[in-house]
A and B are shown apart, each in its own frame.
Chain A
Amino acid sequence: MIAHKKRVGMEVSIAVSHAVQLARAEAIAAYPITPQTHIVEHLSSLVANGDLEAEFIPVESEHSALSACIGCSAAGARTYTATSSQGLALMNEILFITSAMRLPIVMTVANRALSGPLSIWNDHSDIMAARDIGWIQIFTENGQEAFDHSVMAFKIAEDHRVVMPTIVNLDGFILTHVVEAHELMDQETVDRFLPELKPYHKLDIHQPVTMGAFAMPELFTECKMAHQEALTNSYGPILEIWQEWGELTGRHYKPVETYRTEGAKIIIMMMGSLAEVAEAAVDAMRDQGIPVGLVKIRLWRPFPFADLRAALAGAELVVVCDRALSLGGAAGPVLAEVRSAMYPLAVKPQILGYTVGLGGRDVQPEAFEELVRHAQAEVKQGPSQEFYIYGVRG
């Protein structure tokens, strides 16, 4: 049964904090950083006003924020934090420890460029620098998706078949600071969807365990393999939980989303809010008779190899848009992943990559038409570069 069709206008950051409130987070430790600030600011108000029964721990840094979250989660509390850019970078060493300890913490990352030069604006360099942290990583495209995934992330992270910290990415400013129409949920429905956290392991004086123990060379590889398998195998439960949400709300999510890919010879790819702009571009190109479609990766980790290959089957040219650079390397992170996923196939498309929209640089729909034309010309003459930076002057 599909209920709650009423749409409410609110800033996406507020919708995300509302989702965390509905999820009944019990512990929140966070440090404010633009453009994540409104999320934790609102959560701290909710706690202060007694509208959310949680421990809000104001800390002196993001390193401490995630460290405090580890303690809370290890003690068995449903734990949440949010950060951005430099904050995520400052968490770095703790990010790896959180996932190795398999603590089901949920974090929102309001994606923002990493300094320098100092920039508060949006791109994906923050999360791409944390690509290999071993968390589940989800990208959202608009406010509704950010709300939905913020609730679902708890259920995914805490599922006993998963037990993995989970990041929900949303583009800084472009999403965090805009007012959008959201279909919200009532508490009762969310409570039914997301029951009370049952920690897989927790610190308990009556049943003591050791968490965060070291591993000698004889065991380290086995620990990593266990983590790798668990992250890869979280794919099934993630889909199951998204399916359940779809049945509840009518909003269905897939690891790889497609838009007008029927009969498409050319595919444009990206992650995050830019996809909504690209949809307009695809519509315009389709009107001109160009057989172009759009493929968006929603589930970045675990990487959905089979879904991607299925989505790109039949494509002759794939234009991958990255919102980060791998300086001195051969490709942006998304391009590298897509090329790597497609390489073993006997029949594979030409795959060209463009880094776009760095540090808040606006990307208009016309940009995608330009990219397609450029990529077609490059394929014809043989690619002149490993990848291209779109719109750079000089």
Chain B
Amino acid sequence: MSKAWDQVTWQEIEIGGVLTEPGSARAYNTGDWRSSRPVWDKTRCIKCGVCWTVCPEAGISEDADGYFDINTYCKGCGICVKECVTGCIKMVVEES
């Protein structure tokens, strides 16, 4: 479904609500739910990727330099903070 959800009319709903294209969850930015976010201290990050591995929501992406940061799907659960080997991630309250 290429349209924004709040623009779709009932006539455009596929029979049975079937989704004929894969990957529709991409359009759903679960990061909206977040009340706090993990922030990495790059001076202490060893680029081991444990945070990326343990993230249950694929909410962490690797950048070109091999460091990690959240993407639009991070719900702010804090598992990465708990599991970080060097303790370089901390949760920061979302202000806006």
A contacts, CB < 8 Å to B: 100-103, 163, 200-201, 208-213, 215-216, 218-219, 221-223, 225-226, 229-230
Q: Does B18 contact A (CB under 8 A)?
A: yes
Chain B interface bracket (under 10, 10 to 19, 20 to 34, 35 or more): 10 to 19
Assembly CA distance A219 to B7 (angstroms): 9
Q: Mark B16-48, 1 if CB is under 8 A from A, else 0.
A: 111110101000100000000000000000000
Q: Does B9 contact A (CB under 8 A)?
A: yes
Assembly CA distance A225 to B8 (angstroms): 12
A100: chain B residues within 8 A (beta carbon): 16-17
Q: Name the distance in Å between A43's Cβ and chain B's nearest Cβ.
A: 26
Q: Name the distance in Å between B16's Cβ and chain A's nearest Cβ.
A: 4
Q: Are A223 and B13 in contact (CB under 8 A)?
A: yes
Assembly CA distance A226 to B10 (angstroms): 5
Among A200, A201, A209, A226, contact of B13 (Cβ-Cβ < 8 Å): A226
Q: Name the distance in Å between B28's Cβ and chain A's nearest Cβ.
A: 8
A210: chain B residues within 8 A (beta carbon): 18-19, 22, 24
A201: chain B residues within 8 A (beta carbon): 14-16, 18
Q: Name the distance in Å between B72's Cβ and chain A's nearest Cβ.
A: 16
A163: chain B residues within 8 A (beta carbon): 15-16
| Chain A residue at smallest Cβ distance from B20 | A209
Instruction: Report if A219-B15 is in contact (Cβ < 8 Å); known contacts: A208-B22, A210-B24.
Output: no
Q: Are A215 and B17 in contact (CB under 8 A)?
A: yes
A221: chain B residues within 8 A (beta carbon): 10
Q: Can you sample 19 A-B contacts with CB below 8 Å?
A: A100-B17, A101-B16, A102-B15, A102-B16, A201-B14, A209-B19, A210-B18, A211-B16, A213-B19, A213-B24, A215-B17, A218-B5, A218-B6, A222-B10, A222-B12, A225-B10, A226-B10, A226-B11, A226-B17
Q: Name the distance in Å between B57's Cβ and chain A's nearest Cβ.
A: 16
Among B6, B9, B11, B18, contact of A209 (Cβ-Cβ < 8 Å): B18
Q: Name the distance in Å between A329's Cβ and chain B's nearest Cβ.
A: 30
| Chain A residue at smallest Cβ distance from B28 | A216
Assembly CA distance A1 to B18 (angstroms): 41
A230: chain B residues within 8 A (beta carbon): 15
Assembly CA distance A103 to B14 (angstroms): 13
Assembly CA distance A221 to B10 (angstroms): 8
Known: A163-B16, A201-B16, A209-B20. 13 other contacts (CB 8 A): A102-B16, A163-B15, A200-B16, A210-B18, A210-B22, A211-B17, A213-B17, A215-B17, A216-B5, A218-B6, A218-B8, A223-B13, A223-B17
B16: chain A residues within 8 A (beta carbon): 100-103, 163, 200-201, 211
Assembly CA distance A99 to B11 (angstroms): 17
Assembly CA distance A212 to B20 (angstroms): 12
Q: Name the distance in Å between B21's Cβ and chain A's nearest Cβ.
A: 9
Q: Mark B65-93, 1 if CB is under 8 A from A, else 0.
A: 00000000000000000000000000000
Q: Are A222 and B18 in contact (CB under 8 A)?
A: no
Assembly CA distance A210 to B23 (angstroms): 10
Assembly CA distance A225 to B28 (angstroms): 22
A226: chain B residues within 8 A (beta carbon): 10-11, 13, 15, 17
| Chain B residue at smallest Cβ distance from A101 | B16
B17: chain A residues within 8 A (beta carbon): 100-101, 211-213, 215, 223, 226
B20: chain A residues within 8 A (beta carbon): 209
Assembly CA distance A211 to B22 (angstroms): 11
B22: chain A residues within 8 A (beta carbon): 208, 210
